[in-house]
Amino acid sequence: MPFVDILGLEEATLLIAAVVIAYLGVVAFFAMRRNDAAGVKSAFRGGAIPLGGLGAVVTALAVWGEIAWPLPGSYNILFTDVYLLFGVTLVVLAISMAFSLKLQYAGLFALASGGVAIAYGWSGYQLGMTKDPLETFLLYGAFGLAGILSLPVTVAVDHYLAHPDGTAFAFGSATATARRRPSIQGATRAVQPIVPGGAPGTSDEGASVSSRIPFHLPIYVDVLLLVFVVSIALAGVAALFYLDSTIPAHLASAP
């Protein structure tokens, strides 16, 4: 079988995946801030199509590379081991989003794969296995960090989607306080306004106070989602620079 150099294509898929995931993360972040669970699910269903297709391509290329890449020095191990895990992660994530399954299991897979990516990148850097060992380590490290952050991010998103009534993060917050029945100590039934069609003693002010309080994501959730988006964006930047340094050499000296 003749050798076909697919390294440039593989790097391009890394960049495309980073762009799609970052955009999906931004859309989901703003939908969650609006307390729009339907918007989050819609974004996930739409994003599952490109991520699933990309994951299938990545997985196929990685399997072929594991078997057929004849480069010396275990370069197929350095490049395609982690690349295969990346492809499977995309496929698992796409299936979870398309069928509204728990995302945290895909996040758990991404966390383990991210740790492997960092280990491979560090080993490749120490062994000087590429012409750009530092750039390679930064590329692997950026995607590895995004993978590690995927678990807490998916757990938070799962928790949010499991509480579409807006109580997902009402842990002793103003929203939770507002949902408690207002105190009637010292009041009489005669002075309580009656809600038409409601039970006696039901206050219209008490019934609507929770709806007047805007929904807010906790600060730690905001920070977690933003850090994930920034990390995957940095991974895309690393892939872009790596691709820019690779394509000219590969086009000028095709095998």
The residue ranges of every structural domain in the chain are 7-181+201-252
More confident residue, 204 or 127: 127
Q: What is the DSSP letter of 193?
A: P
Nearest alpha carbon to residue 20 among 80, 112, 94: 94
Give the lowest-confidence range in 168-172, 202-206, 232-236.
Answer: 202-206
Q: Which CATH class is domain 7-181+201-252?
A: mainly alpha
10 Å CB burial of residue 222 (0-12, 13-18, 19+) is middle
User: How high is the mean pLDDT of the chain?
Assistant: 82
Rounded to 5 degrees, φ, ψ at 183 are -70, 140
More confident residue, 6 or 22: 22
pLDDT band at 173 (very low <50, low <70, confident <90, very high): very low
Please check whether residue 144 is in contact with residue 121, taking contact to mean a CB–CB distance below 8 angstroms.
yes
pLDDT for 134: 85
pLDDT for 71: 62
Does the pTM surpass 0.85? The reply is no
Angle at 98 between CA 93 and CA 99, to 5 degrees: 105
Rounded Cα distance, 147 and 97, in Å: 16
Rounded Cα distance, 98 and 199, in Å: 43
Rounded to an integer, the average pLDDT of 90-119 is 97
Q: What is the CA radius of gyration of the chain?
A: 25
Nearest alpha carbon to residue 198 among 175, 181, 217, 174: 181
Q: How far from the centroid of its chain's Cα atoms is residue 3's Cα?
A: 35
10 Å CB burial of residue 47 (0-12, 13-18, 19+) is buried
Rounded Cα distance, 172 and 163, in Å: 16
Nearest alpha carbon to residue 51 among 31, 24, 27, 32: 24
pLDDT digits (tens, 9 = 90+) for 60-100: 999 988 888 766 666 778 888 999 999 999 999 999 999 99
